Amino acid sequence: MIELLVATTNRGKFAEVESSLKYLPLKILPLQSLGNFPVAIEDGATYEENAIKKARILAEYSGYLTLADDSGLEVDALNGAPGIYSARYSGEEGNDQKNNDKLLAVLEHVPDEKRSARFVCVLALCGPNSSGMKGWTVRESCEGRIAFALKGSSGFGYDPIFFYPPWGMTFGEIDRETKARVSHRGKALKKLAQVLPSIIDLGTKP
């Protein structure tokens, strides 16, 4: 069975990866299983650059096939911000509450029809250099709007303020399995699951 390292310390992201890939013959490893590990500085100009950098650094360090992602929320009224800076929008890495509070404050006087936004996810898959495997990426997105207040306790990040019009709810009001059907990361993981057997030998047909 092939071991796949998931290069994230975000428990929500890891759970989504684990759930989406559970039907493949993979042993999915959390980053914490390494003990100590290098932290990639996300200084790329795009989601792709950041995701590939994380995957390559951790694949080389660990020797495992490694999956990394970079994702963000793009708000049209803010010219695509916070974008690649979404996780540290408030200045503190990974503080969901502060990030949400700042975004709601910035958009306080923006009317509903101008609150369009999208989640973007780029997944990157890399092996250590010795494997000879080329890096692979996939990008997916999900369109929605920014709500006027937080709703729901499911998910993580900006989920409680990301309103998904087809279902009339925020991602914070939708359970993980249901959200995966339409979310940016869910769609990217679905595509990964479909092509993974053709990228590496899983003992299954492509």
Candidates 70, 76, 112, 159; catalytic one: 70
Spatial distance between the Cα atoms of 197 and 206, rounded to a whole number of angstroms = 5
Those residues whose C-beta lies under 8 Å from the C-beta of residue 51, and which sit 6 or more positions away, are 68, 69, 70, 122, 123, 124, 137
Query: Is 175 a residue of the active site?
Result: no
Judge whether 69 and 8 are in contact, CB under 8 Å.
Answer: yes
Which residues of 60-115 form beta strands (DSSP E)?
65-75, 82-83
Strand partners, 65: 4
| Rounded (5°) CA angle 42-48-54 | 45
Active site residues: 70
